[in-house]
Amino acid sequence: MVHARGVRKHYGKLEVLKGIDLTVERGQVCCLLGPSGSGKSTFLRCINHLEKVDGGRLAVDGHLVGYRRHGNRLHELREQEVAQRRREIGMVFQRFNLFPHMTALENVMEAPVRVSGVGRAEAHKTAQRLLDRVGLGDRAAHYPAHLSGGQQQRVAIARALAMKPKLMLFDEPTSALDPELVGDVLDVMRQLASDGMTMVVVTHEIGFAREVGDTAVFMDEGVVVEAGDPKRVLVQPEQERTRAFLAKVL
């Protein structure tokens, strides 16, 4: 589902990604860990067409990000085509970014109705089902301001799922939450994983990465330091940098 080979990205003189290799198979959960500034968010943004890759190859579901193949030529995607591809990828951020003037249900209905042209009745039904799925069936009529951070984040997950994505990206989805609200969000993500969703999750929740991750990737300063089975990488890392990081977050 995600195939990165030698992916590079720089902002001016600052090299943020220095040749990232990473593979995420369909139905797998890849947990991305690493110190602040190591390039994790940038990499997610590249996968989601929010940043242009400067070098290497990055493909999502067999499509080179940013390009369309025509015969044996590559053409840069037009804006509309990028939008189309982005619809197939759900993204959940640290901050929930819900529309404050819409109820939970309306937040989840918004993109299917406005972007995909789904009828309101059908969108309503799907949104209610998704809110049930994230444990918020009884909060459908609540506005974000009247929901806890954890509940807002679960609405954000339901909202991303409403577009029927084939890949879900999570960028530190629990980092902004009070500790007692983290578990409910992780439970929803765990359920999503067991339902077979392909996921790339940037997280410092080592327990989650160990239990739910099919692979763990440790990044530092724009390179993959170590990757593999989370039960090895996060328990008996081979690299000193990984060990030092784990000692800090555990």
Of 135, 129, 140, the C-alpha closest to 164 is: 129
Residue 11 or 99 having the CB closest to Mg ion: 11
Residue 203 interacts with Mg ion (CB under 5 A)?
no
Stretch that binds ligand ADP, among 33-41, 146-154, 178-186, 206-214 (CB under 6 A): 33-41
Residue 173 interacts with ligand ADP (CB under 6 A)?
no
Residue 41 or 107 having the CB closest to ligand ADP: 41
Instruction: Tell me which of ligand ADP, Mg ion, none is bound by residue 182, counting a contact when its beta carbon lies within the kind-specific cut-off of 5 to 8 angstroms.
Output: none
The residue assigned the tokens 């529309």 is 99
Q: What are phi and psi of 116, to 5 degrees?
A: -100, -5
Of 5, 45, 30, the C-alpha closest to 203 is: 30
Which residue of 1, 22, 38, 156 would you call a contact of ligand ADP, by CB under 6 A? 38
Which residue of 2, 4, 7, 16 would you call a contact of ligand ADP, by CB under 6 A? 16
Separation of alpha carbons 68 and 72, rounded Å = 10
Is residue 199 a contact partner of residue 192, using CB atoms and an 8 Å limit? Answer: yes
Residue 38 or 152 having the CB closest to ligand ADP: 38
Residue 153 interacts with ligand ADP (CB under 6 A)?
no
Query: Based on the number of CB atoms within 10 Å of its own CB, is 222 exposed (0-12), middle (13-18) or buried (19 or more)?
Result: buried
Task: List the structure tokens of 146.
Answer: 């009247």
Residues in contact with ligand ADP by the rule CB under 6 A: 11, 14, 16, 34, 36-42
